[in-house]
Structure 1
Amino acid sequence: MSQRDTLVHLFAGGCGGTVGAILTCPLEVVKTRLQSSSITVYISEVHLNTVSGASVNRVTRVSPGPLHCLKMILQKEGPRSLFRGLGPNLVGVAPSRAIYFAAYSNCKEKLNSIFDPDTSQVHMISAGVAGFTAITTTNPIWLIKTRLQLDARNRGEKRMSAFECIRKVYQSDGMKGFYRGMSASYAGISETVIHFVIYESIKQKLLEYKSASSMDNEDEYEKEASDFVGMMMAAATSKTCATSIAYPHEVVRTRLREEGTKYRSFFQTLSLLVREEGYGSLYRGLTTHLIRQIPNTAIMMSTYEVVVYLLNG
């Protein structure tokens, strides 16, 4: 791959990630709140003891749904809170996606010369290497983003800035504090691998269908436009499958990144969640995550494909 091709993939990946992050930020905030340990609502129920006549209070713990969480944020914190963490997100998403797509494209090109080209094996290894590279280089940015999104404050209260958050993390945990949750992110590489294997498979089928179709020049233009719609559908389908399978790592990562948390490591957090909150806690926020991820991934991947297509003429 030439230097120009690498730069094209860097730029296209950055554009795709940025557009997707801006459009889906409110859903990202709601999802993060649902995943956290602070969102649990306690409802007290009063029952009468028919034998002694004494009343007994039983406290039931429930987790609000996405709409209830959204309503609480709007009522208590205002609409601006739905864009908490957007700054670090924009700072991180462009380099993260750029690094990811560049690493993925370079790795895939090298592996294609070693193995059979464009096989599932090539896509899996490429996605894994790209995910590991992007996670390692950008984890501090995502930790700050998560902390800001979890910083719930009422209307009128001064909100914590990104620089204040950085200072607090460094004062409490030092440099290692910026890498909390990275183990869960590494576990999440499995989601990326599954996503890209399915995506590349669907993409290959679409390309085969295109090459098998005979069209005149006018129809060819229409087909080119429909190709990008096909890429969006491929991205949405593959991401839905991957997210549903690998989602628990998202909840674990959010818990690890909470301030003053009792969670220490990936498996300790996983075990603690199941023991204290049940298996259902591992999928808290999944609906919101899917609602966000499907359009976000579709927008990101289609933007990436469009930019690469335009820059390569």
Structure 2
Amino acid sequence: MTLLGGGFLKRANPSHLQDIFNKYATVEKNGEKFMTPEDFIIKFLNFLDEKNYNVDTTKLLAAIVDTSKDGLISYQEFQAFEGLLCFPDALYKTAFQLFDTNGNGMVSFQEFVEVMQKTELQKKIPFNMNSPFIELYFGRDKKRLVTYNEFSQFLHDFHEEYAIEGFRRADKEGTGFISILDFQDIMISIKSHLLTKQVQSHLIETARESQGGSRVSFPYFIAFNSLLNNMELVKRIYLNVTNGHRTQEVSKEEFMHSAQAMSQMTPLEVEILFHLCDILHQTGRIVYNDLYAIAPEQYFKQITNRLAEIHAVSSPEERGVVIQILESTYRFALGSIAGAVGATAVYPIDLVKTRMQNQRAGSFIGELMYRNSLDCFKKVVRHEGILGLYRGLLPQLMGVAPEKAIKLTVNDLVRDKLMDKNGNIPLIGEIVAGACAGGSQVVFTNPLEIVKIRLQVAGEIAGGAKVRAWTVVKELGLFGLYKGAKACLLRDVPFSAIYFPAYAHTKAKFADENGYNSPLSLLVSGAIAGIPAASLVTPADVIKTRLQVVTRAGQTTYTGVLDATRKIFVEEGFRAFWKGAVARVFRSSPQFGVTLVTYELLQRYLYIDFGGTRPTGSELKVTAIGDGKKPRNPDHVGGYSVSLPIFTGIETKFGLCLPKFNTTKAS
């Protein structure tokens, strides 16, 4: 395992890599197979359009892998590059090998010029190769060879120097000013990879309002570029002001105070930031989404997203048993805490729901003691006190931990099995995973619920002896604790089959354009998903309640699910199956909303990466790399899993755009 971009990337299996190489290699010499530049760049990487690609660019990019520089890629070179891609500095290593055209492990001035002359940028705004900046790295006579570490620093500095060179060329009279049109041209030509469409379309407007005229000063030019280069820092400053909240509006003064405390971000940079945001929505304040409108997805974000995708479809069997046990323990802890919070928050509603469901039409006066749920709530408080609303809470909390743990674990397991190679799961797969999770939890929930229900209805008997949980357990025995289990299955299986997919899709609808959910959107998503799930399974819940409560004198007894269904329908009518439906929705909907928002916030702030999937309900919404039209090649394994963002990063990180298309169609 190698640490890359905040995640672990595993080397590909050599035999598997050999099979993949043989699949794409089209040249054979002396019994050995080789890839051509087209085989690697076009067919394997899918990096350029196979119908109209630039031949020179294809050869130049393939030469990164072809260290022998013979025009062909051997399996040994293919395997070595896969290993290189696993390094944390893979982007810089790849860029270095792009410029190391003779493969001697050093970059000369001639090699640097040779590659630069092929870039779109050098053709449009030629860089002065005799500038003092070049001499500082390659020497006055330009004979000095630059090592990898030195070249990585050179690339970083050259990127910034190029913008300054563009300013110098436009400032022919040396006044320290350029026209707004020159400013726009330089930014679009040299810094286009740092510009979103919104910023690019408002460059002139922003500069004119900020500078108060038709010229742009050098300090403004430097501050503008510095701001674009440091948008990740800007985001951290914003989150520091809002304590992690992403929808809170922040004023310039608030942002400035945090910026000075955290970094050396200048007042001019802050001024430009707020000018850009104000042009977008004109409020004088910024929110987190404004920052994404200014900053495009950068190379490191692409790498992080790709690693998240890899984790999402990685097989748990690839990790050690100890790691899997630790991950299960972690999920158990989060699920138990979240479940306890959710259950406690709505327990009084659950007690009212249970008593309403147990109330039946009968001959003796005690049966019709509640007119409706509100009347039930008032009478419980009046006769039993506030604590009466929490009868049976302790066994409920004792059951929450194993219930949530088994539900989340089974749901994750089934989802993993039903996912395709790209980490996608169809709706039917989500439903099946939820149903399995609901069925698995009954082994824990049925015993705890039957004890809870008997404690909840005990207060209805005036003058009755105080009932304790352990007394109920001893009275029921092992098999008695599973009385009504069939009805419990009829309730929990469809509930989870409805709830988990509904929550996942509702949450996605409420997420912002970056896939982020605020705590409020998580709460609302959980509550909305609970409405259909809770209401539609109420009949099964009524039957389960009738089977599990203690039957008093004069009440109808039931021998099983079918018997209870028939007798309830005959004696009380169809409406009896929906008793407590409103209370159930008002209990289950907010309970699962509170549970899921607690769970997601816990895993969001206390998340530990065990190398497997993230806990259910917190999967990362990954932004696709590229235009999303071509599916990711399943043969991109090991280091090649991040090959596309690495190659794309040469342009997005360093601005070295190579021509992608021929003026004439490639053969």
TM exceeds 0.5? yes
| CA deviation vs aligned residue, 1:52-91 (integer Å, no higher than 9, x gap) | xxxxxxxx97962011111222222222211110010010
| CA deviation vs aligned residue, 1:144-183 (integer Å, no higher than 9, x gap) | 111111112568754111111112223xxxx321111111
Are 2:537 and 1:246 equivalent residues in the alignment? yes
* Partner SS state of residue 136, structure 1: helix
Task: State the partner residue of 1:22.
Answer: 344
Of residues 405, 409, 415, the one that matches 1:108 is 415
| CA deviation vs aligned residue, 1:26-61 (integer Å, no higher than 9, x gap) | 111111000004587978xxxxxxxxxxxxxxxx97
Please tell me whether the aligned partners of residues 30 and 70 of structure 1 are also in contact (alpha carbons under 8 angstroms). Answer: yes
Task: State the partner residue of 1:141.
Answer: 448
| CA deviation vs aligned residue, 1:191-231 (integer Å, no higher than 9, x gap) | 22111121112233445x4337xxxxxxxxxxx5x522212
Please tell me whether the aligned partners of residues 393 and 452 of structure 2 are also in contact (alpha carbons under 8 angstroms). Answer: yes
Q: Distance in 2 between matches of 1:8 and 1:227?
A: 23
Per the TM alignment, residue 97 of structure 1 is displaced from its structure 2 partner at its CA by 1.2
* Partner SS state of residue 598, structure 2: helix
CA change 1:146–1:294 in 2 (3 A) is: same
Query: How many residues end up aligned between the 2 structures?
Result: 280
CA change 1:42–1:287 in 2 (3 A) is: farther
CA change 1:185–1:103 in 2 (3 A) is: same
Of residues 489, 510, 513, the one that matches 1:186 is 489
By relative contact order (CA 8 Å, sep 6+), the higher-ranking structure is 1
Please tell me whether the aligned partners of residues 430 and 500 of structure 2 are also in contact (alpha carbons under 8 angstroms). Answer: yes
Task: State the partner residue of 1:204.
Answer: 508
Are 2:518 and 1:227 equivalent residues in the alignment? yes
| CA deviation vs aligned residue, 1:212-261 (integer Å, no higher than 9, x gap) | 7xxxxxxxxxxx5x522212111111110122222111111100101136
Per the TM alignment, residue 268 of structure 1 is displaced from its structure 2 partner at its CA by 1.6
Please tell me whether the aligned partners of residues 530 and 590 of structure 2 are also in contact (alpha carbons under 8 angstroms). Answer: no
Where in structure 2 are there 5+ consecutive unaligned residues? 1-315, 317-322, 609-667
Task: Please say which structure displays the higher CA radius of gyration.
Answer: 2
CA change 1:121–1:17 in 2 (3 A) is: same
Of residues 456, 474, 479, the one that matches 1:167 is 474
Q: Distance in 2 between matches of 1:191 and 1:115?
A: 28
Per the TM alignment, residue 115 of structure 1 is displaced from its structure 2 partner at its CA by 9.7
State the AA in 2 paired with 1:84: R
State the AA in 2 paired with 1:258: V
* Partner SS state of residue 550, structure 2: coil
CA change 1:288–1:251 in 2 (3 A) is: same
State the AA in 2 paired with 1:128: A
Task: State the partner residue of 2:559.
Answer: 264
Where in structure 1 are there 5+ consecutive unaligned residues? 44-59, 213-223
State the AA in 2 paired with 1:248: P
Are 2:377 and 1:70 equivalent residues in the alignment? yes
Per the TM alignment, residue 118 of structure 1 is displaced from its structure 2 partner at its CA by 2.7
Are 2:412 and 1:121 equivalent residues in the alignment? no
Q: Distance in 2 between matches of 1:110 and 1:17?
A: 26
CA change 1:150–1:69 in 2 (3 A) is: same
State the AA in 1 paired with 2:488: S
Task: State the partner residue of 1:8.
Answer: 330
Q: Distance in 1 between matches of 2:596 and 2:505?
A: 15
Please tell me whether the aligned partners of residues 345 and 591 of structure 2 are also in contact (alpha carbons under 8 angstroms). Answer: yes
Q: Distance in 2 between matches of 1:106 and 1:306?
A: 22
- What's the RMSD between the two structures over aligned residues? 2.6
Please tell me whether the aligned partners of residues 104 and 127 of structure 1 are also in contact (alpha carbons under 8 angstroms). Answer: yes
Give the % identical residues.
26
CA change 1:61–1:33 in 2 (3 A) is: closer
Please tell me whether the aligned partners of residues 458 and 467 of structure 2 are also in contact (alpha carbons under 8 angstroms). Answer: yes
Please tell me whether the aligned partners of residues 526 and 590 of structure 2 are also in contact (alpha carbons under 8 angstroms). Answer: no
CA change 1:71–1:147 in 2 (3 A) is: same
Task: State the partner residue of 1:216.
Answer: none
* Partner SS state of residue 576, structure 2: helix
CA change 1:254–1:115 in 2 (3 A) is: farther
State the AA in 2 paired with 1:177: G
Please tell me whether the aligned partners of residues 503 and 525 of structure 2 are also in contact (alpha carbons under 8 angstroms). Answer: yes
Please tell me whether the aligned partners of residues 199 and 235 of structure 1 are also in contact (alpha carbons under 8 angstroms). Answer: yes
CA change 1:17–1:159 in 2 (3 A) is: same
Of residues 457, 463, 466, the one that matches 1:150 is 457
TM-score by length of 2: 0.39
Mean Cα displacement is larger for which, 28-37 or 238-247? 238-247
CA change 1:93–1:40 in 2 (3 A) is: farther
Per the TM alignment, residue 8 of structure 1 is displaced from its structure 2 partner at its CA by 3.0
Task: State the partner residue of 1:48.
Answer: none
Per the TM alignment, residue 143 of structure 1 is displaced from its structure 2 partner at its CA by 1.0
* Partner SS state of residue 262, structure 1: coil
Poorly superposed stretches of 4+, deviation over 4 Å = 38-43, 60-63, 113-116, 153-157
Task: State the partner residue of 1:301.
Answer: 596
Task: State the partner residue of 2:581.
Answer: 286
Please tell me whether the aligned partners of residues 41 and 61 of structure 1 are also in contact (alpha carbons under 8 angstroms). Answer: no
Q: Distance in 2 between matches of 1:115 and 1:158?
A: 60
Please tell me whether the aligned partners of residues 24 and 292 of structure 1 are also in contact (alpha carbons under 8 angstroms). Answer: yes
State the AA in 1 paired with 2:338: G
5 Å-filtered alignment, 1:34-73, equals 34-37=356-359, 64-73=371-380
Mean Cα displacement is larger for which, 246-255 or 110-119? 110-119
CA change 1:39–1:258 in 2 (3 A) is: farther
Task: State the partner residue of 1:219.
Answer: none
* Partner SS state of residue 179, structure 1: coil
